[in-house]
Amino acid sequence: MKRLLPSARTAIVSAAIRAPARRTFGMLILALSGALLTSPDTARADATTAAFRWEQANSRLAAAQKPDDFLSATRCYNRLVADGVRNGPLFANLGTALLLAGDGPNAVAALQRAERYAGSTPEIRANLRLAWALRAGQPDSDLPWERIVFPWHFDHPLRLRATVALSCWSLLWFGVLLRFLVPRRPADELAALPPSSRLRTLGGSCIFFGSLLALAFGASATLSWLQERGDDRSWPERVLICHETQGGAR
């Protein structure tokens, strides 16, 4: 890791702070989303504060050279988390800064939260491999087996998986409705496959695929929701640290 992190540091930081204007706009939208529940003056102040802290954190991450500098950037990102901001780019940048500060366990946790909000990206996967390796004290790390067996759980954000699960649940009940409303034809009339039989066949397919996909995506979304709730409760108790010798970001 001592040789790997310095050589990859510039690329990691560049990927983390790419498209700052687009992300700043996203931070403003997230901060303004609570405007209906607050006064106009408070909403404007919150949006301005969130945008300022986001730019401040990005600037510190871009200028950082030593683990202590990266730790300073993580504190800026963590203030946004403490203020209630939750999105993929925030946790991705926080995880990147923690990785370069040498804090493997917290980097893994932040990058996994980034996946729940934004889905997996090549940058997040690459940083996760480095963070797992740093946590284990190894030069590199393979992807865990569950990421190969259950790719939809990690590749897609929680909100999308929940939406797919609800859609498949609706498809399941649409199939049940078809099977219930369309009368069953006698066996001697099935050879011609009348429209009613085709509808019942369609209903059976909807039931099968709807139940299968609703179970897969529903279980995935539920697990991620529980994990996110647990991380959200325990996050303020995490101690963000840097390791001069393990981080190798000199």
SS (H, E, C) 58-103: HHHHHHCCCHHHHHHHHHHHHHHHHCCCCCHHHHHHHHHHHHHHCC
Comparing 97-101, 124-128, 191-195, 207-211, which segment has the lowest mean pLDDT? 191-195
> Bigger pLDDT: 140 or 86?
86
Most confident of 17-26, 142-151, 157-166: 157-166
pLDDT at 185 over 80: no
Q: Is the pLDDT of residue 35 over 70?
A: no
What is the rounded CA–CA span in Å between residue 110 and residue 91? 5
Give the rounded percent of residues in the chain with a pLDDT score beyond 90: 54
The whole-number average pLDDT for the span 77-106 is 93
**What crossing angle do the helices spanning 122-136 and 88-101 adopt, rounded to 10°?**
40
pLDDT in tens, 223-235: 999 999 999 999 9
Is residue 57 a contact partner of residue 27, using CB atoms and an 8 Å limit? Answer: no
